[in-house]
Amino acid sequence: MSFVTTGDGVQIFYKDWGPRDAQPIVFHHGWPLSSDDWDAQMLFFVQKGFRVVAHDRRGHGRSAQVWDGHTMDVYAADAAAVVQHLDLRNAIHVGHSTGGGEVARYVARHGEPQGRVAKAVLVSAVPPLMLRTEANPGGLPIEVFDGFREALAANRAQFFLDVPTGPFYGFNRPGAQVSEGVIRNWWRQGMMGSAKAHYDGIKAFSETDQTEDLKAISVPTLVLHGEDDQIVPIDDSARRSVTLLRNGTLRTYPGYSHGMLTVNAEVLNADLLAFVKA
């Protein structure tokens, strides 16, 4: 397995597939998963001739289960360590959910200033801010995220079954085609990681205001979001993000869930490819 050591000594696992001289696409996974959640995209794009890279966030998947550093700032710095280790240039960065927040902070603070980023994609992403505040009245109340923390601390294994079985993939909707394999894979990825990292990560993805990150990004940025996303509601995320981006494009999908990259991979991959090649 391949690892890079961050500046604070943390071992970060990564995958690096495809020709070294091809344009790189870097994938950033969501909470509480791992780089394995990008299987459908990495296989698709490597077969199209791209170099595809994805890492496990610290405390997630096969990366070190350290007790600290579970913040958006550190997530972005860890991503930068992978990029610098592989010397990736002219890259497209694609982030899902919490990974979308990671992409926004990475591009704004590390990628664009170094000229390493060509384009960015935010999929079902958490920016600009999930938490309801006076300045963000459309956000979710803190009680929602306190409930996540309570459920995780009480019985993480059951919580990590309930989320994919229900709202994450829209399997709780009438007529949904439920995939037991998708549910088990979500659970497997989640349980590989650290409960401490997952607990702290709830604060990172819900309370990090990324308004200024979005304003700082100038590269072409595609924002993709399902209109039936029950995890990250579209109105206070994607529809706000595109108004803050200098060069943003919004595409929404009626009836699609938070986990649309997996259950609607054929549609999403085609749209991602069109944007990458544009």
Active-site option among 70, 93, 110, 258: 258
Active-site option among 213, 229, 236, 237: 229
Q: Is 35 a catalytic residue?
A: no
Grouping H, G, I as helix, E, B as strand and the rest as coil, residue 117 is strand
Write out the DSSP string of 136-160: -TTSB-HHHHHHHHHHHHHHHHHHH
**Which residues form the domain of 171?**
2-277
Residue 235: give its domain's CATH number: 3.40.50.1820
Q: Report pTM.
A: 0.97
Grouping H, G, I as helix, E, B as strand and the rest as coil, residue 252 is strand
Bond from prior residue into 167 cis (ω within 30 degrees of 0): no
pLDDT of residue 184: 98
Q: How many domains does the chain have?
A: 1
Burial of 277 (0-12, 13-18, 19+ CB in 10 A): exposed
**Per-10-residue mean pLDDT, the chain, length 278:** 96 98 98 98 98 98 98 98 98 98 98 92 98 97 98 98 98 97 98 98 98 98 98 98 98 98 98 97
pLDDT of residue 21: 97
**AA identity, residue 89:** R
pLDDT of residue 112: 86
pLDDT of residue 77: 98
3-state helix, strand, coil in the chain (%, to 5): 45, 15, 40
Grouping H, G, I as helix, E, B as strand and the rest as coil, residue 265 is helix
Phi then psi for residue 6, to 5 deg, are: -75, 175
Grouping H, G, I as helix, E, B as strand and the rest as coil, residue 122 is strand
Active-site option among 34, 97, 124, 206: 97
